[in-house]
Amino acid sequence: MASDDFVGGVRLTAERHGMDLGRPLVLVSGGPDSVALLRAVVALGGEPAVLHVDHGLRGGESGRDAGFVRRLCDGLGVRCEIAEIDLSGTSNLQERARDERYRLAREVAARFGLRVVATGHTADDVAETVILNLARGTGMRGLAGIPPVRGGIVRPLIERTRQEVLRYLAELDQPYRTDSTNLSAKYARNRVRLEVLPVLEKLHPGAARNLARAASTVREDLAALEGLAAAAVEERGGEAVLARGALQGLPPALRRHAVRAAYSKVLPGAPPPEFRHVEAVLALRETGSGTRLLDLPGGVVAAARGDGEISFYLRAEPLAGEQVLDEGETSLGGWEIHAEEVARFDAGDAARPGVAYLDASLGPYRVRAVREGDMIRPLGLGGTKKVLRAMMDRKVPKDVRRRTPVVVDRLGEVAWVPFGELGEGFGVKTQTGRILKVEVAKSPWTCPA
């Protein structure tokens, strides 16, 4: 029977991609794809729950969809949740509706104690996505289409075509709802579905399946390339760093993947930067001298330094406030400073970046944001120097300087700049009775020493 073949195909897809269909939350609109998914999960012995989202955009039609889904679930003995959202006054309705569905799905799945959300995307959806991305201009990621599994979302019908879905439902004599907005030529995806794909299917029968299969191959190639590129990324504190040597050893295509991998390290889950942003980052290495900064989407900053190294970090507001530097951990704006009294001075340890040994008797010390007029008397140099100038001399990027704390004594004099200067008179001498070791335990970035 065709229905057995369909369900068997869904089982193979689930096994191939590691999808757990034992207790999924199935998103059911009432349309053929999601209804077929629900019936297949039940046929496989799963115990699903269902979420139906009423977007309230089609008047009485939306209400009839919700009623249909509830009756379907009642007939199958499946728990059903109907949620309503208000999208009035929203631009880009399709994107906003999708985002709201996934947000609600995560909430309902957590409330029901379910770890997997299943959607009814088919091979035709993959084909439509690839065509749209090609028309807009895309790289490998756009050609990869829709992934079978991503972030707790599984798509068990991703290898089944829409025609297979309709045949399966017809054999079950299972009705479904038709969303009138899916017939509108207003949306680009609808035009691809209604006009472009049918022409391709006439020219090359099986075109949708072939496009979906090609996307799957691209996904596999992309995963391999991203794995190679990720090896070039170093993590230092809150930064992702591409060393000059690591980039030089990569062909141009892998350099682009390395930039995307570094970006994703500091902003996980965000869409990857566009091609133009990636090219602008790579161009930083070839232009100017000193430190060059580039703002990227999502508040990420790329900083190219004179040695050809490129670091990525999240832009943050300047530090504010201050904390007493007690023994243990002291936190300020993403920094954690560890302090403890120790019995003796360790010269080797003191030479490490981010470590200082202070005369404890001059405390209590405080940690606060650097200020415009802050001065320091650098140990062994004589005279005074502006803290911000000292940072600039050490090639600390301008964007970073205002977000680096300083350690000051009880009178407000700067005793130490993390990763930088130790103040004259605050270091350990032979006659120092109490020694305070101070160390950067965590920082949003790594300041060059």
Q: Residue 425: which of 405, 437, 409 has the closest Cα?
A: 409
Q: What are phi and psi of 330, to 5 degrees?
A: -120, 125
Q: Cα-flanking dihedrals φ and ψ of residue 25, to 5°? A: -95, 115
Task: Give SS3 for 367.
Answer: strand
353 vs 419: CA distance, rounded Å = 5
Give 250's DSSP letter.
S
**3-state SS class at 254:** helix
Distances (CA, A) of 24 to 116, 118, 444: 5, 6, 38
Contact between 154 and 118 (Cβ < 8 Å): yes
Residue list, annotated binding site: 29-34
**DSSP letter string over 403-420?**
T-EEEE-TTS-EEE-TTS
- Give the C-alpha separation, 190 to 93, whole Å: 14
Q: Which residues are annotated as a binding site for ATP?
A: 29-34
Asked if residue 123 lies in contact with residue 212, where contact means CB atoms within 8 angstroms, the answer is yes
Smallest Cα–Cα separation from 151: which of 108, 103, 113, 189? 103
